[in-house]
Amino acid sequence: MSIVVTGATGALGRLVIDELLTQVPAADVAAVVRDKEKAADLAERGVEIRVADYSVPATLVGAFRPGERVLLISGSEVGQRVPQHTAVIDAAKAAGVAQLAYTGILGGPDADFLLADEHKATEQLILDSGLPYTFLRNGWYTENYTGRLGAVLEHGAVVSNAGEGRVASAGRADFAAAAAAVLAGDREAHVGRAYELSGDASWSFGEYAAEVAKASGKAVSYNAVPAAEHQRILVAAGLPEGFATLLVDVDKAIARGLLAGTSGDLARLIGRPTTPLAATVAASLA
């Protein structure tokens, strides 16, 4: 049995491979990457490197083998994901893979915000393909927020248009561990399943600001702003208009409670509690 991870040199992909290598021999793991040089360290660990690009379907021919278990990590280019994912799905079907796991978005078909559209379309493409599937509907990585701690500390403020909405985030490594558990575990137990993956506890942006202040020893407040004002702030900070619109729309979804669910699926898959907000904040500050 071979396990294939696409997007393997990305932040999530590397963590998935790290986790897999604690569970299966390196000879059973293959990494699909665009740049072979960026995967040199994986090759040194015994992982097979396969070069392919989501955006160039011809390169995906031969990227997979019959009976393999494949993790399709969603592309990072918003607006291009559907054709990119279609190419991967078509290649996986042509190869006759035994399982296609996909990293989608929390809520699946019930997620009604802009960033979810391509994920929902991809899930439908996978269903239509007839491939044995597992949907890993990832909630928010806490690192989505702690990765911007420098700006938060510089301005002494967390800014959002989510109001009192809550986010049940978890560490990126938690989601990677869940993917590895599905890929290396009992295939029959996971095929045909959709997992709603989120942290064990949710937090508000006011609580997040308070945690950052406590951990850093600096004054940090939560500034709840209207959506239009948040859009203006993000664009003024240098974000492209379209990306700012997506972030503002996500905050609207948070205000509606769409990222607050705590199903427990993530903790059950990884066999331990998810990483608390405070731990990720502390690690980021360190």
The pLDDT value given to residue 79: 81
The pLDDT value given to residue 165: 98
Q: What is the pLDDT of residues 183-207, one digit of tens each?
A: 999 999 999 999 999 999 999 999 9
- Please spell the DSSP secondary structure of the chain, one letter per residue: --EEEESTTSHHHHHHHHHHTTTS-GGGEEEEES-GGGGHHHHHTT-EEEE-BTTBHHHHTTSS-TT-EEEEPPPS-TTTHHHHHHHHHHHHHHHT-SEEEEEEETTGGG--SGGGHHHHHHHHHHHHHT--EEEEEE--BTHHHHTTHHHHHHHTEEEES-TT-EE--B-HHHHHHHHHHHHHS-HHHHTTEEEEE--SS-EEHHHHHHHHHHHHTS--EEEE--HHHHHHHHHHTT--HHHHHHHHHHHHHHHTTTT----SHHHHHHTSPPPPHHHHHHHHH-
Report the predicted TM-score, pTM, of the whole model to 2 decimal places.
0.96
Q: In the chain, which stretches have pLDDT less than 50?
A: none
The pLDDT value given to residue 78: 86
Q: What is the pLDDT of residues 30-39, one digit of tens each?
A: 999 999 999 9
The pLDDT value given to residue 1: 64
Structural domains of the chain sorted by starting position, each given as residue range(s) with its CATH number in brackets = 3-139+170-197 (3.40.50.720), 146-150+156-165+200-260+275-285 (3.90.25.10)
